[in-house]
Amino acid sequence: MNFKIDKGRVKVGKYSLSSLALAEVFATILFGVLTIVLGISAYKDARTYYAWNSALRLYASNMDPSADLEIARSHRPEFVPVHELIAKIAVNTGNLDLARQECETIQKLDPASEAAAVTLGIVALKTYDKTKQEPLLAQAKSHFSSAGASADAKVGMGHVLLRQGDLEGAWKSFEAALQSDPPASLDAMSDLYIGQAAIQVKRQNSNAARESFERALVLAPQWDRGYANKAYLMARQMAEMPPMEREKFRKEVPAWNEFADRLGTAYNQNKEGRAYYKDAILTYLDAYACLAIRSLDHGTAAAKFNQISGVDAGAKRPTINYLATIATVIYNRSLMSDERGQFVHELANQSAAAFSRHKDLTWREKAVLYQLMTVHSVITGADLESGDRNAEKALEAYQSSGAEDHLKAMIYRAKAAGLARQLAFKNEQEKVKLVEDILKAGDQSLQAEDQPDLREWLKKFR
Q: Which residues pair with 12 in a beta bridge?
A: 3, 15
Distance, in Å, from the CA atom of 327 to the CA atom of 336, rounded to the nearest integer, reads 16
**What is the pLDDT, as a whole number, of residue 19?**
56
Contact 353, 343 (CB under 8 A): no
Residue 231, pLDDT score: 84
Cis peptide before 243 (omega within 30 of 0): no
CA pair distance 301, 286, nearest whole angstrom: 9
How far CA 80 is from CA of 98, 149, 182, in Å, comes to 15, 20, 20
Side-by-side strand order, sheet with 15-18: 3-6, 9-12, 15-18
* Sequence-ordered alpha helix ranges (H) in 179-297: 186-202, 206-219, 224-240, 246-269, 277-294
Rounded alpha-carbon distances, angstroms, from residue 288 to 8, 197, 233, 348:
98, 21, 12, 21
Instruction: With CA atoms as reference, report the closest residue to 124 among 106, 143, 146, 108.
Output: 143
What is the structure's pLDDT at 285?
Answer: 93
Cα separation, 231 vs 267, whole angstroms? 12
Interstrand relation of 15-18 and 3-6 (parallel, antiparallel or unpaired): unpaired
State the Rg of the chain over Cα.
35
For the chain, the first-to-last Cα distance in angstroms comes to: 135
Q: Enumerate residues 6+ apart whose C-beta is below 8 A from 419.
A: 388, 434, 437, 438, 441
pLDDT digits (tens), the chain, 462 positions: 565 655 555 555 555 555 555 566 666 766 766 666 555 566 567 777 777 788 778 777 767 788 888 887 877 888 888 888 888 888 877 788 888 898 888 888 888 888 889 989 988 988 887 777 888 889 899 999 988 788 999 999 999 998 888 999 999 999 999 999 888 888 888 889 888 988 887 887 878 888 888 888 787 766 666 677 778 888 888 888 888 998 899 999 999 999 888 888 877 776 766 666 788 889 999 999 999 999 999 999 999 999 998 888 888 888 889 988 988 888 788 888 888 888 888 888 888 888 888 888 888 888 888 888 888 888 877 778 888 888 888 888 888 877 688 888 988 988 898 889 888 888 888 888 989 999 999 999 999 999 999 999 999 888
Q: What SS3 state is found at 191?
A: helix
Q: Which amino acid is at 173?
A: S
Residue from 90, 150, 152 nearest 126 by CA: 90
CB 283, CB 312: distance < 8 Å: no
CA 219 to centroid of chain Cα atoms = 19
Question: How much is the pLDDT for 190?
Answer: 84
* Residue 4 backbone phi and psi in degrees, to 5: -155, 160
Residue 84: closest CA among 156, 7, 187? 187
